[in-house]
């Protein structure tokens, strides 16, 4: 027959295990939700890419950067 002390050793830690499991499920659910709300397919025609021809505000107000003095330096390979 098993003593009560030995039986108690097998029952400890289940609360922590359940807490960690619930925390992992909450993190996975949160990551999935953020992914579904923010993911844009590369095939999405409404997706605005970097380097778009339309100015976003800063380029129009400041203009293009000035050219370096003395012309462009030759490319060195």
**Residue 32 belongs to a domain:** yes
CA torsion sign, 54 to 56 to 61 to 62? negative
**Residue 31 belongs to a domain:** yes
CA distance 62 to 56: 11
**Residue 3 belongs to a domain:** no
**Cα 54 to chain centroid, rounded:** 26
| Residues 25-39 pLDDT 10s | 999 999 999 999 998
Secondary structure class of 23 (helix, strand, coil): helix
Q: How many domains does the chain have?
A: 1
Q: In terms of residue numbers, what domain contains 21? A: 13-41
Q: Give the global pTM.
A: 0.47
pLDDT at 36: 94
- With beta carbons less than 8 A apart as the criterion, state whether 40 and 47 touch: yes
**Residue 50 belongs to a domain:** no
- Could you say which residues of the chain have pLDDT below 50? none
**Residue 24 belongs to a domain:** yes
């Amino acid at each position: 027959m098993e003593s009560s002390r030995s039986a108690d050793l097998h029952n400890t830690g289940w609360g922590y295990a359940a807490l960690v499991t619930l925390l992992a499920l909450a993190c996975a659910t949160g990551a999935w939700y953020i992914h579904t709300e923010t993911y844009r397919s590369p095939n999405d025609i409404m997706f605005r890419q970097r380097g778009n021809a339309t100015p976003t505000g800063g380029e129009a107000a400041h203009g293009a950067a000035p050219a370096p003095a003395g012309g462009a330096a030759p490319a060195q390979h």
